Structure 1
Amino acid sequence: MNYKEIAQETLEAIGGKENIAAAAHCATRLRLALHDESIVDQAKLDGMDAVKGTFSTGGQYQIIFGSGTVNKVFKEFTDMTGTNGMSTADVNSAGAKKMNPLQRFVKMLSDIFVPIIPAIVAGGLLMGINNLLTAQGLFIDGKSLVEAYPDMADLAALINTFANAAFVFLPILIGFSATQRFGGNPYLGATLGMLMVHPDLLNGWGYGGALVSGEIPYWSIFGFEIEKVGYQGTVLPVLAASFILAKIETSLRKVVPSALDNLLTPLLTIFITGILTFTLVGPFTRAAGNLLSDGMIWLYDTTGFIGGAIFGLLYAPIVITGMHHSFIAVETQLLADMAKTGGSFIFVVATMSNVAQGAATLAVFMMTKNNKLKGTASAAGISALLGITEPAMFGVNLKLRYPFIGAIIGSAIATAFVTFFKVKAIALGAAGLPGIISIHHSSILQYIIGMVISFAIAFVVTIVLAKRDAKKGVQEAA
């Protein structure tokens, strides 16, 4: 490829360097914050062989070049535009200015949770491996692998410890990431998270039982009692506490003399935030988090497969808006409180949607005679089956429209099926074919059947719609 020529054509198509507010790239995409997206020459970009797809979301215009290509195009691009040294944070900041309040809120959650996803996914996949070792009847009739081979018991126990670490100490991860996002010192945020899971506190998972038995420990300070209860596996309490900590810290730095800043600011920040966390913020947000989890469970149990079908139908459109990032907080809470929730149904819905998008894209690959579209659809379809849908959704399905319709129909029917059988994930992972190890062993068969339904219906409906459009003479790709 002539990367300089590709960069030049891209620059011309987006309206020149004067239209660029910020530019960066990730693993597969050139990410741009543009002053005016309406002047982008979409037809020119679509006609470029190197461009695998484009989409606009969250105030950013993103051009998919693919892994290994985007960084070489970006190097030439920055030489032409003078945007060298910019990062995705710069693009995020420039793009955020064009968002409405709801979009900014969703982006805030994304900024907090996306950095900690690798830790949560690592723990989730380890949980999946532990699930394979300890599930009765999965490989051996009436026995688990650990029961059949006792020498593996300690290995399973070790893996379980490794898997639980990210969820037991989740407030530390969120405290660091959230405080950094809110403009505070992330290490103070991590310290706050440590304080909330300190071993001297009653373990948060034992709070319900202690409340019933009346055995909750207290600090008694001048006649005022404060519950000594931890916040293991919680999300809302540490999010709220991190916001307060960041605001207290930045406020103190404005008034504390510089000579005493390093001494007094961290001391007062942690002490004040800690008091507020255990007296007001923690108890209130713990109750709110419980209501949120209970509400999601009620909705799931009450609406049944009909609600599942609606969720499956809407999941991909929600992804287009970027609002699916707000599910991360809910899903993390569902998994952290698994004894009550039984796991996450959101992960299962995401899988059905991703598989359907992949199937629709592969149907396009089979039907089209356009070589460029064939190349894009083959790679994008496989990627979607493995849990990464952006190339499939934005590079193929939304552009042609009929594959997207086929995909959401397949997703809706498959989600209705898995919802009827109460299929839930007990860990996070790749929401696609590899997600099998994240599913409770008793539901693995239904999960696989759900994926087959999703794939088959999306594939068939897409082909039917493609043939219908071909007869009308409006399908350019076939």
Structure 2
Amino acid sequence: MQISESMGAFGKKNSASSKKSSVAERLTLMIDALGGIGNIADATHCMTRLRLKLKDQSLASEETLKSISGVQGVVFAQDQTQIIIGVDVEQWHKTLQGMLQDGNVASNTDDTAASAKDGKLFQNAMRIVAGIFGPVVPAIAGAGMLMGLLSGLIATNVISETSDTVFFFRSISVAVFFFLPMLVSFSAAKMFKVNEYIALAVAAAMLSPQLIEKAAALKAASEVAELTVLGVVPIELMNYGGSIVPTILAVWLLSKVTPLVDSIVPTVAKPVLTPLFAFAVTATATLSFVGPLGMWLSNGAGWVVSSLLEISPTLTGFVFGLTRPITIVFGIHHSMTPISLNNFALYGKDLLMPIMCLGNLAIAGATLAIWHKQRKTVSKEQSSITAGSGVTAILGITEPALFGVLTKYTKAMFTASLAAGVFGAISVTLDTHLTSYILSSVFSLPAYLSAGTQNFIQAVLGVCGVFALSFVLTTMFVKVDDK
């Protein structure tokens, strides 16, 4: 984390002001290196990166961006310019938003649909997924960590499972996952450039308690859980709690319906009739066919993953582990989030998130091995940066280690990936799994207790083993003398 040099030792108010000014100054340099404020068409962020859509990416100077204090790396991927900041990214993003508005350039103004016309379907899909789930991850990770902590306390008999305390905290954490469509809809609305609150209204319609109760009543009476609206429109009553794909499709549909309605409605009636018809048409179409289609796609994705695990769990674990560091480098690691969440919804557990944690610890092991080898040959400042990056990776934030250390040592990146692949294979083979979404760090280990003591022991041994293997392999095969 970068700290302003002008911060006083005791003046908190002055320190905060100084740091804020420093971020603004560095953002000014960044904007210049990106081709000017008018070249920025879209600005979002995830947990560690600014994700920018530039009108002309060729105007961006990678070397200048990397030279700015606080910038830990730059990645050009998925038609995005990704600038790695670290844990201070939210402050940078807020300051950048203000600068964009002052410069009369509104962020999130590029046409996502138009950008998809360039034929780069995969890149745009990954960009959309990252843009949607990046802001949502802290909320679901917080709820997941709470569920994991409760499981650990119950398993160790610190607290009774029947206590009011467990009932309360479990209820509020489960609620986050049930109402996940509302979180996803708000984030997706920003990506698809549509009114966030109408998107929330559509998600609320998907979670209507009356519709859920009606479906239960029809099923109890051995009848088909279906309604007929307007005499011709069939509505299949489904429980969309925790759904992801149906929600994203619903917001995408809203982004198409809204301008169509807006073009038909007279100007004087737009404030009333546009939201009315946009909501009514989108909600009806979603609950009629878009939502069921999304559920079918979700189940299909879950089937593909489960089939791969059935064919060869060891190979599947190895491939996911081997590619984990690379996906982080290219900023597509958030593409795993909907798969894991879907696994929780379908099977009540997920085998992939433990591999993410193993990948992070492998990165930490390789980074600290580099620190161990270079500590006597480089400056104390550089050595402390490397050590700090390794510790941060243990805590779940890997970008400083990847872009500040491992990208400079190709063999170290490979040894970390190999270690993650080996222990990823072991993890899946032993059925090490999670029952709720959590951050991939050592602080997440108590969550493994929810699946039993054996599962917890496997997770701890896996984390220790992958760190040790990555450290040893990097120490043996990577030379640092010329760096």
TM-score, normalised on structure 2?
A: 0.79
Gapped regions of structure 1 (runs ≥ 5)? none
Partner of 1:408: 417
Partner of 1:159: 169
1:26-71 deviation per Cα after TM superposition (whole angstroms, max 9, x unaligned): 79778775956699574x8888997655544444556667667998
Counterpart residue number, 1:272: 281
Contact 1:123 1:163 (C-alpha < 8 Å) held by counterparts: yes
CA distance in 2, matches of 1:361, 1:446: 24
Q: State the Cα deviation string for residues 385-418 of structure 1 (Å, max 9, x = none).
A: 1111111111110111121111011101111111
Displacement of 1:301 in angstroms is 3.0
Using a 3 Å threshold, how does the CA distance of structure 1 residues 91 and 462 change in structure 2: closer, same or farther? farther
Q: 1:218 aligns with which of 226, 235, 238?
A: 226
Identity %: 24
Once the two structures are TM-superposed, the CA of residue 274 in structure 1 deviates from its matched residue by 2.2
Paired residues of 1:236 and 1:289 also in contact (CA < 8 A) = yes
Check the 8 A contact 2:265/2:273 in 1, yes or no: yes
Q: Distance in 2 between matches of 1:451 and 1:259?
A: 62
Write the letter of the residue equivalent to 1:349: I
TM superposition shift of 1:203: 6.5
Distance 1:56 1:117 in 2: 22
Tell me how large the CA RMSD over aligned residues is: 4.1
- The reply on whether 1:194 has 2:204 as its aligned counterpart is yes
Q: 2:371 & 2:104 partners in 1: Cα distance?
A: 38
- 2:39 paired residue among 21, 41, 61: 21
Structure 2 vs 1, CA of residues 299 and 173 (structure 1 numbering), >3 Å: closer, same or farther? same
2: CA distance, partners of 1:296 / 1:220: 35
Q: Which whole-Å CA distance do the structure 1 matches of 2:68 and 2:191 have between them?
A: 37
The match for 2:121 among 98, 101, 118 is: 101
Aligned-partner Cα distance in 2 for 1:237–1:69: 30
Partner Cα separation in structure 2 for residue 355 and residue 92 of structure 1: 38
Pairwise CA distance, 1:276: 1.4
Alpha carbons of 1:28 and 1:445: their partners in 2 closer, same or farther (altered >3 Å)?
closer
Correspondent of 1:110 among 110, 130, 144: 130
The residue number in structure 2 matching 1:476 is 482
CA contact (8 A) 1:133 1:156 kept: no
Separation of aligned partners in 2, 1:265 and 1:214: 39
For the residue of structure 2 that corresponds to 1:226, the secondary structure is strand
- Please point out which of 186, 191, 206 is paired with 1:176: 186
| Other-structure match for 1:328 | 337
Alignment of 1:342 with 2:374, yes or no, is no
Distance 1:390 1:204, change over 3 A: farther
CA gap of 1:271–1:25, structure 2 versus 1, over 3 A, is closer
Shift of 1:17: 5.9
2:18 equivalent in structure 1? none
| Candidates 370, 376, 382, aligned match of 2:378 | 370
- Asked whether the 8 Å contact 2:420–2:466 carries over to 1, the reply is yes
Q: Report if the CA contact (8 A) 1:192-1:274 is conserved.
A: yes
Amino acid aligned to 1:393: L
Structure 2 equivalent of residue 237 of structure 1 = 246
1:346 Cα deviation (Å)?
2.2
Structure 1: which amino acid aligns with 2:127?
A: K
Structure-1 separation of matches of 2:70 and 2:281? 55
Residue 457 (1) aligns with residue 465 (2): no
